[in-house]
Amino acid sequence: MSFEKNTNLSALLCSIEFALISNVERIRDFPNLSKGVILKSGKSWSPLPFISGTGSYSHEQKPSDAGAYFEHQVKCFCPGTSISTQAELTNLHNNRYLAKITLMTGVSLLIGNLDVPISLSSSLDTVKGGRDFLAAWTSSEPAFSVDEP
């Protein structure tokens, strides 16, 4: 089975990556709702390992008196119940991040911005052998596609 861009596939994810906001030099605006994230020298995106088929992205546009806003959610299941896995996920909770997600269609989206980072939560499930992971972001902006600067 092969996947092509711009097909009507669900929003399954093939990758989730995080960048500490303190590692971001700047975010560059491109046309057509596109952004380029420029990281400081020597810094890179950190992948979040998750079980294939469990990663998903959703967003909902909602009205308010101040104008429309968007609620974004990235969900996945991260395997492992070891102390080191738990420590890595706890570290994610204690910092400010942007997320770059790549859909099965090949489209990459930026979740979060420098002023309003994503919020992270996870819950351990020893029966399933890992953690349900959620990255959420509420913003007046949609998720922007990511172009390499």
- Is residue 139 within 8 A of residue 72, CB to CB? The reply is yes
pLDDT of residue 16: 94
Q: In the structure encoding, which two tokens stand for residue 62, read together?
A: 């909602």
What pLDDT tens digit does each residue of the chain (149 aa) get? 444 544 555 568 999 999 999 999 999 887 766 788 999 999 999 998 899 999 999 989 999 998 899 999 999 998 887 777 777 777 777 888 999 999 988 889 999 989 888 988 888 888 988 889 999 999 988 888 887 65
59-75 as b/e: b if 16+ CB within 10 A: beeeeeeeeeeeebbbb
**Rounded alpha-carbon distances, angstroms, from residue 55 to 71, 76, 113:** 17, 4, 21
Q: Which residue has the tokens 């429309």?
A: 68
pLDDT of residue 1: 41
Number of neighbouring beta carbons within 10 Å of residue 76: 24
pLDDT of residue 8: 52
pLDDT of residue 98: 92
- Is residue 76 within 8 A of residue 56, CB to CB? The reply is yes
